Structure 1
Amino acid sequence: MKQHWDLHDLIEHFTLLPPEVRFLGANSPHNHLGKALLLKFFQYEGQFPESGAELPASVVEYVAQQLNLTETHFHDYEWEGRMIRDHRQQVRTFLGFAPATLENQQELRAWLIHEVLPHEYRLSHLEQRAYARLRSLHLEPPPSARMDRLVRSALHAYEQTFFAETAARLPEAVKLNLQQLIYHKQDLTQDIDLTDAEADDPSLYPLHDLKSTAGEAKVSAIQKVAERLKYLQAVGLPADLFRGFPLPFLRQYQQQAAVESLSHLQRREQEEHTYTLLAAFCWVRQRELTDQLVDLFLRVLQDIRLRAKQRVERELLVDYIRVGGKQQLLYRIAGAMWDNPDGIIREVLYPLVGEERLKALVKEAKSKGTYRLSVQTRVSGSYTHHYRRILPPLLAVLTFRSNNERYQPLLEALGVVASYLQEKDPFYPDDQEVPLAGVIQKQWQSWLYQKDRTDGQRRLRRVRYELCVLQSLRNKLRCKEIWVEGADRYRNPAEDVPADFSENRTDYYAALALPVEAEQFVEKVRTQMTQALQELNDGLPTNPAVKILTKGGGWIHLSPLSKLQEPTNLRYLKLAVRERWWMTSLLDILKEADLRIGFSDSFQSLTGQERLPRDELQKRLLLCLFGLGTNTGLTRVSMGRHEVSYANLQYIRRRFVSKEALRRAIACVIDATLAIRQPEIWGEAGTWCAADAKQFAAWDQNLLAQWHPRYRKVGVLVYWHVAKQALCVYSQVKTPSSSEAALMIEGVVRHCTAMQVDRSYVDTHGQSEVAFAFCHLLGFQLMPRLKNLHKQKLSLPDKAVGVKYPHLTPVLGGAIDWDLITRHYDEMVKYATALRLGTADAEAILKRFTRNNLQHPLYKALAELGRALLTTFLCSYLTHESVRREIQAGLNVVENWNSANSFILYGRGGEISTNDQDAQEIVLLTMHLLQSCLVYVNTLMTQEVLADPTWRARMTEADWRGLTPLFYAHVNPYGTFELDMASRIPLVA
């Protein structure tokens, strides 16, 4: 049960009704209060508390007040003995519940196996479903330890059945192919006696190569990834082997196969288990490699064009310098022609300009042509002489599809390109029908033709056609109008939405708290928009901060916020913390947080087997997390006096540290921080989060790291979601070119903490019209700080109502097409449901609704809804200074979080020194965990200092406002430094 409750929730869930008061009867004060709390706890949770510590103080106080008692009476309530047994039995009888018998528990186990798994495979979620099931049956669940064993037993039984059924569906030829992944290249029928070191030699087994990363975007990388993908396709897994199983469910087995040593895989006694692990590895890895290959293809085409543009721009600059003073020459020639309209060119212009200079101008104009043509010609040259080698492997292993008849000509064009790959003739035959309409932009259709030197006829040049087809393919892949068989992120977009949406339409609408009728939804949005416009218009004459100007076709002028009073005592508070906990080790902070919270329990062996004692495992885990999170590395951490070797830390890193485990651990720390916060110090828990990105330097021989024009460096992007008081609830590691709007939605929907988010503060890059629409459908408000505020336009609810807002006339735009929103409302809710359920990640879904796909009717509807919501927000933003301060304060919180990153991630100059994308993400997630632990421990330290009434009296309103648990002047992130003057380095000379 959550520890902090507001008054509204206490009234709703813990108010004693008259029948309940009569049920309580007359008891001694402590038994009377204890019985009442058992009743209300059971009503809320569906089970009894196992100790008094589970009951929040605010709940105890609220119930006690209703009984005219004090919360101190609860301290005398006995949690063992006849009295509490009688109270529990009475509560069960009153509420119509009975204890779950062994028969009930076996029925629950069977229900989990047949009805819940594998749609939900996560242990914590399975427990939630089990508790909910018992509650619906009016059964009291068994003790938590017994419940945990029951759920684990159901999961284990389901897995054994899954292994057996999977192995039975594999043909013998496929089993032999799977064995070749882990066995020596000699004949598999021969006995092979290898040591463990020899058995794991990467040069002997395909499995090691299949686990390798893609590398940077270049021809050799595409060829290598295509070769791996072709190998996996040749394994021959049945197409429907894992159909219906969610990819995250299969990924846990893929990870197990990836981290298990080959010698252990070879020696497994259960063949069904081994075959299933390898089949899951191939299935998941095939989809990952397909996505990687598409990513490489998109990046290569982008890089070719960028380099061509840079080259052409340099040449244009040289040309401009080569013939200087062209603008002045133009004026002089125009003047001479005006003065001598009937003169002879040789007599009038040559003396003025010079014949050679005129020849140079003509030569320059002929050589450079149009800018776009120059760039395209340069791209064509690069493609012809080097990058054309990517085409055969791409077309050999990728199969492209489309659900839209409009793009069938593009698929036909790919077929034509593939059929002529082995031909030597640079031109297509005259009788070959080559699709142009709907494939090649009109501006390039004439460019495709070149003169054939053999007969002087203009014919269609193959390499130019191939290039244009690939450029069109790139554009359609980005918005998923073209999709790829066997991919995950580039899969059929129809698979991104719930398959049962039509059957369970009402339930999905209810889950989003949206009306089923589109007209009701539209009317509410229209009403809010109309009221916001009227409020802004009416208040504008008396609003000193906002002016609507006519310049530039309409201009919104907003004065900066006035400066608030500076906190005066916070620096002294931090000094007090520093004096009391002088130079606390960052490793000790990590250890203390784990001893209090137990987040290390989130790290389980990826192989499913743990042989280390838990206390030793905990010690090694903390050292491993410290080395990763500070970026100092496992080698340097192993040098400490803790008797843990580098090999031990490597083992922990490989077997226990995963992205999923780190996210679970972070959620544990966040929830624990929320639980220990004292509202009188930190205020009530907020329901907002601020989102922003930060780039970290990283090695660039991978698909994640990119050059970012805004940061002017190569690196990876981390997108933070930070709530009130430096509580970072979610983080994502992406490419710098990723859509920040999609990342914002993903973080709000996916964070696994107990916090509820109803507002998201972002900067200009984190918003878009489509993002406004989806945020509203998902039940939270997008509130950006717009850099280009002066350019914004306010949409109208109707064309005829513009006259009602005379003060806003210069910035009024077009009217909203409500009919378009109404027609596509159901489709919008379907995609919002997909975002909520996670059937696809937000970036994959939002790819369909970008400016690359302007003609998509659903994109137009989302943009219309987004324009209406943006107008409502802008009106509120301009009308209320409190809204602007709220957003500014929220974004300041995330900036403060960013400022502490370099203190935690200090190793190797803050550069992520690996090309493994998973390893890059693990380093940054571990840093997130370390920084969250710092916030947790600092919260405890600050509360301990402020427990002194003297300190409470010193704090001003500005101090309370600026108080944050994210500070580190009292922390030593490096460790201890030892100097032994008696020891020497053993050197020969």
Structure 2
Amino acid sequence: MPGLEFRYVGQDRLPARLSEFDVERYFALTDSDVAAVNERFRRDHRAGVAIQLVFLRAGGHTLDHVGTLPRQLLRYVGERLNLPTPTIASLRTLYQRYKTLYEHQLWTCEYLGITSIGPTHWAELETWMRQDATESLTLDELLQHALCWLYERRILIPAERKLRDLGRSIWSDVERGLLALIEATVTETQLMHADAVLSAQHGTSGMRALEWLKTPPARHSPTTLTETLAKVRFLKELGAHTWVLDGVPIEKQRAYAQRVQARRPAKVRELKASTRTIELIFFLRVTLLEMTDALLYQTGRRVSDLVRQAYDRTTVRQARSAIEYRQQLVAIKELVHDSERTAQERLDDIGKLLEDLVDRPPISHAASVRETLTDDHHRIRNLLGPLRELGFVGRDAEPSLRQFELVGTLHDSGATELPVDCDVPVSAAWRDLVQGDDRARALRALEASAITGLRKGLRRGSVWIDHSLSFRERDQLLIPPAQWESERDRYLASLGLPATAEPFLERLTEHLKAGLAALEEAREAGRVTIGTDGAVHLSSIEALPTDGIPKHTRDLIFREIGNAQFADMIMEMDAHTGFSEVLRSRKARDTIELVSLYAALIAHGTELDARSVAAMIPQLDPANISTAMRFLEMPGRLPRANDRVVEFQRTHPVTELWGNGRHASSDSMSLDTSPHLFYARVDPRRRTHAVGMYTHVLDQHGIVYNQPIVLNERQAGVAIEGVIRHNENRDDDGLLRLSVDTHGYTNVGMAVSKLLGFDLCPRLRNLSERKLHLPRAVAAPDGLAAVVAYEISIKAIREGWKELLRLVASIHAGRVSAMVALQRFGSAAQGDPVYRAADHLGRLLRTLFLCDYFSNIEFRREMHTLLNRGESVHQLQRAIYTGKIAPERGRRRDEMIAISGSLTLLTNLVIAWNTQRIQATLDRWRSKGQGVDDDWLRRMGPAHFTHVNFRGTLSFPIDRYREMLPDAAPWRRMAGS
């Protein structure tokens, strides 16, 4: 979707009022423009042709509307052309003759190199729109893309009605194609059963089946797992698992499903039959995919709970045994020293004390945990039984799947013991229990081995389910092998990677040698020391010299800025960026729609609900806010609005002192919530249930990516995903370096990020991770021998290189997310050639990074500054979201994404507003001759919030922006007043 530079593209009229920022950015006249206008036109025509020129350049459409022209634009044009322009004017007053208007428009088109749309252009546009319509989520999105296509090719944008008619025709054809696909895939009986879901009752609760399917999972518990399994079973009975709809992008399927999610069943029934069929089938299919993922996730958590409880019971039992053992020793000691009894009597008593001592060799703690887990066989069997309905598929030699199938067969036959002649392979850890003399315990051990092995198999991709999004077969996740073979050169060219590993490794080896030499030089200079523990130790970074001036300057700036109301900030930034138009895919038709959207943003992005926000905004109904909240859940809208605000913030010159926009940091922030939330985990620091909000913060302070995550899991995947999503829409190659903490990296993540074109820079917490891993072919200086480990296998990198490239290309092409990819090829995939290649390459890259980190103080300082900058933005987010997520909020995936995106947008609005005010204050000071050192400004930022009132009555200054934000049509402005 278009960014800030495309804000006015396709507009056929000017708003009644423009901000100074809009005039300077979108409607500016260059010196060559002024010279051309003065040379070609007489004085009384120059103002009109100049307005036509700047409007056509900004919007790609001629200005034909006769409405009043903005005073700000008239004043600017008058100043630039040295003309006495009127303060109130319209095209009707500027042009008495239509022919003159036509001549001016013709000249501006020729001057700007814009051609009128002809039959050839229409044909090319239609071909392009038909292709784009297969991925666009709405008709409005398709039309917006078409406007940008015309604008970038310097083709005059035609009348809105013509373009919309073409879009409607193409959209109808696409939906007819979808309907044909559905009818070819779904049988008539299945279609009838699916349609019956609208009115069918579920159980005895009185709830319709459709409403029941919409109900998101509750808290993590066996009851929730049973409920989720019932939904999967219901959908499979409808035949949804047999519908092959992979030809439709999953985001498009989700968009259709979201429409059903947002409507009441009665409203779905009122839809046209074809539309109802498309939306309902995609809803059922997407629900099955998401419910299957949820079920597998819940099962994994349940297995983790059982293992953890077995661990806790083992620890308690071992502690109790240690106490009992000591008590036995004390009793034996007393008997030894009891001189009043004979030796035989004492030996007999000692023998009685040792009767319960088990005569077997000691076992490890892990083996004790496994043994304790077999005692919990009732809960394990209750978990294994229902999973048989899912239809697991796996590799031929997958042990866990064979164990799972054997356990199912034994359960069906009513067996309580494992047959002696069982030949199912088990790992060495479980072998003693499975092959032991107690065959009942052997069966329980096989059950425990199957359920834990199945969880690992799902994570590494050796076991999969066809009706799942994240746990599909590898060839379904990655680029298909046939396509990869035929288009590999194209993919590698876009990534800039060689087909073989040798050229890449040669360059990397040269950089390693230079890095090792620099590190040795730093060691000799005393900046780095090698400790007796065999680890690298660094001295603390010296603080930059300061006399308090930067802090004092910041306080002076914000004192001059003064206090601000949150509602004023939101509307002012909307006037500059038009983010509300992006959120609704059109301009608000009246002020009620506009304020409802702001209220929905606050309801999602703070701990308040719709009713609480309505109480803060006079004369606003909660129902309007709830409806607008559904708009924010539509995929892609909040990220595009965020991009608009960040782009606006980055237009201010002061941001260039903070960074160049090529570096960023990423980290998660916890939002407290109820344990009843499906995604909730215990925060290890605060020991409260919470969910993670993962954000990527530019060196210029804006948040460019956000994603809700589950806490206590590795974050390398989401860190990489954020950079990819940010870079894909940029022309300047985007981010080149991302600073993360220890949780945000893995060796595989280091390798994948480098192959994708950027560096992952982790601040490592553990000294054990600071070893320098090298191949034998690279000799390290003698002074570094204590911290060097020659463990890198170049052979492993070469052998896995081709499949590693296929993985990276699949991530880059958007076929699989980096989060899913790093789960499948992470530590759970040990033994896989791709994992081995990525792990060794990642350790090699980590060595190169550590050489820079240890030897270059400025590089280390910059990394820490970026991470601290991210923490300051998190403090601002906590000031906006002060409470906890309510138990009934965030259960649906779309709603949780909307919460994260809304909080990010509100945060960016504050940052952008502060940046604008900082720039204005600096410009004002400098115009008065008051100098401000750039070094001071580099050490301050816009993530300041003590001057902002986030609560209380929200009074939006509608009158101030009535002529700018709602739709400019006069009848609509009057209707909303």
TM > 0.5 fold call: yes
Alpha-carbon spacing, 1:749–1:656, altered in 2? closer, same or farther (3 Å): closer
Alpha-carbon spacing, 1:310–1:274, altered in 2? closer, same or farther (3 Å): same
Alpha-carbon spacing, 1:811–1:28, altered in 2? closer, same or farther (3 Å): closer
Deviation at 1:759, TM superposition (A): 0.4
Alpha-carbon spacing, 1:53–1:289, altered in 2? closer, same or farther (3 Å): closer
Alpha-carbon spacing, 1:568–1:85, altered in 2? closer, same or farther (3 Å): farther
Q: Which amino acid aligns with 1:359?
A: L
Deviation at 1:928, TM superposition (A): 1.4
Deviation at 1:252, TM superposition (A): 0.4
Q: Which amino acid aligns with 1:89?
A: E
Work out the CA distance in 2 between the residues paired with 1:277 and 1:515: 44
2:719 corresponds to: 744
- In the alignment, structure 1 residue 376 sits paired with structure 2 residue 358: no
Work out the CA distance in 2 between the residues paired with 1:528 and 1:127: 48
Deviation at 1:371, TM superposition (A): 2.8
- In the alignment, structure 1 residue 872 sits paired with structure 2 residue 848: yes
Match of 1:591 among 522, 547, 571: 571
Q: Which amino acid aligns with 2:598?
A: L
Work out the CA distance in 1 between the residues paired with 2:563 and 2:758: 41
Work out the CA distance in 2 between the residues paired with 1:661 and 1:27: 36
- In the alignment, structure 1 residue 447 sits paired with structure 2 residue 441: no
2:12 corresponds to: none
2:963 corresponds to: none
Work out the CA distance in 2 between the residues paired with 1:567 and 1:840: 51
1:388 corresponds to: 381
2:754 corresponds to: 776
Deviation at 1:814, TM superposition (A): 0.7
1:563 corresponds to: 543
Alpha-carbon spacing, 1:510–1:214, altered in 2? closer, same or farther (3 Å): same
Structure 2 residue runs of 5 or longer lacking an equivalent are 6-29, 42-52, 61-76, 86-90, 92-100, 956-977
Match of 2:530 among 548, 558, 577: 548
Q: Which stretch shows the higher mean deviation, 533-542 or 294-303?
A: 533-542
1:982 corresponds to: none
2:180 corresponds to: 165
Deviation at 1:893, TM superposition (A): 0.4
2:18 corresponds to: none
- In the alignment, structure 1 residue 426 sits paired with structure 2 residue 427: no
Two-structure CA RMSD over aligned residues (Å): 4.0
Q: Which amino acid aligns with 1:385?
A: H
- In the alignment, structure 1 residue 819 sits paired with structure 2 residue 819: no
Work out the CA distance in 2 between the residues paired with 1:147 and 1:528: 58
Deviation at 1:376, TM superposition (A): 2.2
Work out the CA distance in 2 between the residues paired with 1:99 and 1:252: 35
Determine if contact 2:179/2:277 at 8 Å carries over to the other structure: no
Alpha-carbon spacing, 1:941–1:163, altered in 2? closer, same or farther (3 Å): same
Determine if contact 1:835/1:841 at 8 Å carries over to the other structure: yes
| 1:862-886, Cα deviation, whole Å (9 max, x unpaired) | 1121122111111111121111011
Work out the CA distance in 1 between the residues paired with 2:275 and 2:811: 33
Determine if contact 2:666/2:740 at 8 Å carries over to the other structure: yes
Alpha-carbon spacing, 1:365–1:887, altered in 2? closer, same or farther (3 Å): farther
3-state DSSP of counterpart to 2:851: helix
- In the alignment, structure 1 residue 175 sits paired with structure 2 residue 191: yes
Determine if contact 1:946/1:952 at 8 Å carries over to the other structure: no
Q: Which amino acid aligns with 1:232?
A: L
Determine if contact 2:200/2:209 at 8 Å carries over to the other structure: no
Deviation at 1:359, TM superposition (A): 2.4
Alpha-carbon spacing, 1:357–1:533, altered in 2? closer, same or farther (3 Å): farther
Q: Map 1:279-294; keep pairs closer than 5 Å.
A: 279-294=281-296
1:469 corresponds to: 450
Determine if contact 2:241/2:285 at 8 Å carries over to the other structure: no
Q: Which amino acid aligns with 1:559?
A: S
Q: Map 1:263-274; keep pairs closer than 5 Å.
A: 263-268=266-271, 270-274=272-276
Structure 1 residue runs of 5 or longer lacking an equivalent are 5-23, 36-47, 56-70, 187-200, 338-344, 453-457, 979-989
Deviation at 1:954, TM superposition (A): 5.3
2:835 corresponds to: 859
Work out the CA distance in 2 between the residues paired with 1:502 and 1:111: 27
Alpha-carbon spacing, 1:971–1:230, altered in 2? closer, same or farther (3 Å): same
Match of 1:525 among 505, 508, 515: 508
| 1:804-833, Cα deviation, whole Å (9 max, x unpaired) | 612211112115333332333222221111
Match of 1:509 among 480, 489, 492: 492
Alpha-carbon spacing, 1:747–1:684, altered in 2? closer, same or farther (3 Å): closer
1:195 corresponds to: none
Work out the CA distance in 1 between the residues paired with 2:579 and 2:909: 10
1:793 corresponds to: 771
Alpha-carbon spacing, 1:350–1:252, altered in 2? closer, same or farther (3 Å): same
| 1:325-370, Cα deviation, whole Å (9 max, x unpaired) | 899999x99xx99xxxxxxx9859969xx95699269648989965
| 1:456-490, Cα deviation, whole Å (9 max, x unpaired) | xx567433322211111111111111111211100
Deviation at 1:310, TM superposition (A): 1.2
Work out the CA distance in 2 between the residues paired with 1:683 and 1:428: 67
Alpha-carbon spacing, 1:656–1:224, altered in 2? closer, same or farther (3 Å): same
Deviation at 1:687, TM superposition (A): 0.5
Q: Which amino acid aligns with 2:710?
A: T
Determine if contact 2:150/2:157 at 8 Å carries over to the other structure: no
Deviation at 1:278, TM superposition (A): 0.8
| 1:593-651, Cα deviation, whole Å (9 max, x unpaired) | 2232221122338xxxx998343211101112112222122111111353111222222
Alpha-carbon spacing, 1:91–1:311, altered in 2? closer, same or farther (3 Å): same
1:964 corresponds to: 941
Work out the CA distance in 1 between the residues paired with 2:40 and 2:468: 57
| 1:401-459, Cα deviation, whole Å (9 max, x unpaired) | 12x4331x4333322222233333312456xx64432xx2223223135767xxxxx56
Work out the CA distance in 2 between the residues paired with 1:316 and 1:530: 51
3-state DSSP of counterpart to 1:906: coil
2:404 corresponds to: 414
Q: Which amino acid aligns with 2:412?
A: Q
Match of 2:705 among 722, 725, 730: 730
Work out the CA distance in 1 between the residues paired with 2:838 and 2:166: 42
2:110 corresponds to: 89
Alpha-carbon spacing, 1:796–1:346, altered in 2? closer, same or farther (3 Å): farther
What is the count of residue pairs matched by the alignment?
876
Alpha-carbon spacing, 1:858–1:977, altered in 2? closer, same or farther (3 Å): closer
Alpha-carbon spacing, 1:91–1:976, altered in 2? closer, same or farther (3 Å): closer
Deviation at 1:519, TM superposition (A): 2.3
Alpha-carbon spacing, 1:326–1:451, altered in 2? closer, same or farther (3 Å): closer
Work out the CA distance in 1 between the residues paired with 2:4 and 2:223: 56
Determine if contact 1:771/1:866 at 8 Å carries over to the other structure: yes
Determine if contact 2:151/2:157 at 8 Å carries over to the other structure: no
Deviation at 1:502, TM superposition (A): 2.1
Work out the CA distance in 1 between the residues paired with 2:350 and 2:342: 12
Match of 2:806 among 830, 833, 852: 830
Deviation at 1:580, TM superposition (A): 4.9
Work out the CA distance in 1 between the residues paired with 2:685 and 2:465: 32
| 1:258-295, Cα deviation, whole Å (9 max, x unpaired) | 11111111122x20110111100111111111111111
Determine if contact 2:775/2:792 at 8 Å carries over to the other structure: yes
Work out the CA distance in 2 between the residues paired with 1:921 and 1:90: 46
| 1:693-740, Cα deviation, whole Å (9 max, x unpaired) | 222211222431112434433211121111123211111111113321
3-state DSSP of counterpart to 1:447: helix
Determine if contact 1:112/1:154 at 8 Å carries over to the other structure: no
Determine if contact 2:4/2:648 at 8 Å carries over to the other structure: no
Work out the CA distance in 2 between the residues paired with 1:417 and 1:275: 41
Q: Which stretch shows the higher mean deviation, 642-651 or 158-167?
A: 158-167
Work out the CA distance in 2 between the residues paired with 1:513 and 1:145: 41
Work out the CA distance in 2 between the residues paired with 1:529 and 1:566: 36
- In the alignment, structure 1 residue 719 sits paired with structure 2 residue 694: yes
Determine if contact 2:461/2:824 at 8 Å carries over to the other structure: yes
Work out the CA distance in 2 between the residues paired with 1:519 and 1:511: 19
Match of 1:900 among 876, 884, 887: 876
- In the alignment, structure 1 residue 436 sits paired with structure 2 residue 424: yes
